[in-house]
Every structure is written in structure tokens, then in C-alpha cells.
Amino acid sequence: MITAKAHVYGDHIDTDRIIPGKYTKTLDLSTLAGHVMEDLDPDFHRNFTAGDIIVAGDNFGCGSSREQAPVALKAAGVSCIIARFYARIFFRNAINIGLPVLEIPDHDIARGDMLEVHLETGKVVNQTRQKTYQATRLPKVMLDIMQAGGLVPYLKKYNDYQLL
């Protein structure tokens, strides 16, 4: 279970805003973390505490296929992301690198709300607003990848994809 504060962003946050292309050519996590969200929210690092949750509206992570986007968010200490829905490559990438992403089509989470996220069940309790939301169920293969902590540990464990 994750209990942390929500940082809320809008719709269609593209990967260029999550991590500009000019910083993506690196394998260094601190470089990625250092520039995360910088064009969108210059105060990101001032307000964000490791373990906090990113909350967004529609189509989070649209744009490029750069896995550096979820990697940068994870490296900056984001514990999980909640959005109404995601761009598909970002969604897959996040789960593959072990960053939990929940799709909640009808949330009304506001900035600063305290959330309690149950990853196993997809239940999210908004402590500030005394509300509960349910995330969309993932296909089994994605749930297994998420539970293994990402695609690397998943393939180490199962050696191959398991659909059922």
C-alpha cells in the first residue's frame, strides 16, 4: 500500500513535457530525474517529496516512445501514477520498468489530496475527500509484469510471456 500526497496535472501531458528530448540521450538516472517535468512545472522539485503520487487527466504520456519518461519519473521518486487514461506506449513502458500506473476514468482528485493506493486490488482511497475509486483491471499479463516489479524480473521469473 502507498500512502502519499497527490500532485495533479492536466490532460494530454506529453513525453516532451515529462522529459524533454534533449535530455533523453543518457543512461544516467540522476540527469533524467533532475530535468523531469521542467518545462511543465518548474517548481516540481521544490514541491515534490519522494514517494508522492502523480495524478493526471486524459492521455497521460502521449507523444514519443521514450521510456526515459517513466524512468525519469520513477528516478525522481514518483511512487505511482493515476490518470483517467494513458497513451498506450507510456502505459506499457511504465509497467515494464516497475512504475505502477493506475487508470481511474472518473476520479476527482485535487492537488494536495492524501491518497491511499492498494496496488493489488486497484483500490484508491482519497483520505482528504473521504472517497474511494476503483482502477480499471489490467490484463493478466500486465498484472503479472507489474507484480514481478517490471518486465526484466518477469522474464527472469517466467522465461517467456504467459498469457493465461
Partner 1 sequence: MAGLTISEKILSQHAGHTVRAGELCIVPVDGCMATDTTAPLAIRAFGEMGGETLFDPARFHLIIDHAAPAPNERIANLHQLMRQFATAQGCSLYDVGSGICHQVMTDHRKVQPGQVFMGADSHTPTYGALNAFACGMGSTDIAAIMLTGKTWLKVPATIKVVVHGHLQPGVSAKDLVLEVVRQLTISGATYQAVEYHGETVAAFSLSQRMVLCNMVAEMGAKTGLVSPEGLELPYAFTPVYADADASYSRVITIDAAAINPKIAIPDSPDAVHDADAYAGIKITYAFIGTCTNGRLDDLQEAARVLRGKHIAPGVRMVIAPASRQVLIDALSDGTIQTLVEAGATIINSGCGPCVGSHEGVPGDGEVVISTANRNFRGRMGNPNASIYLGSPRTVALSARYGFISSETSTHQNDTIP
1 binds partner 1 (CB under 8 A): no
In the list 10, 88, 105, 129, the residue contacting partner 1 (rule: CB under 8 A) is 88
As a whole number of angstroms, the distance between CA 111 and CA 33 comes to 21
Task: Transcribe 120-154 into DSSP letters.
Answer: TTTEEEETTTTEEEEPPPPPHHHHHHHHHTSHHHH
As a whole number of angstroms, the distance between CA 42 and CA 26 comes to 21
Give 114: exposed, middle or buried? Use CB within 10 Å, 0-12, 13-18, 19+.
Answer: middle
Phi, psi of 90 (to 5 degrees): -60, -45
65 binds partner 1 (CB under 8 A): yes
107 binds partner 1 (CB under 8 A): no
24 binds partner 1 (CB under 8 A): yes
In the list 62, 81, 82, 104, the residue contacting partner 1 (rule: CB under 8 A) is 62
Task: Mark the segment that binds partner 1 (CB under 8 A) among 64-72, 74-82, 110-118, 121-129.
Answer: 64-72
63 binds partner 1 (CB under 8 A): yes
14 binds partner 1 (CB under 8 A): yes
Task: Mark the segment that binds partner 1 (CB under 8 A) among 68-76, 102-110, 113-121, 123-131.
Answer: 68-76
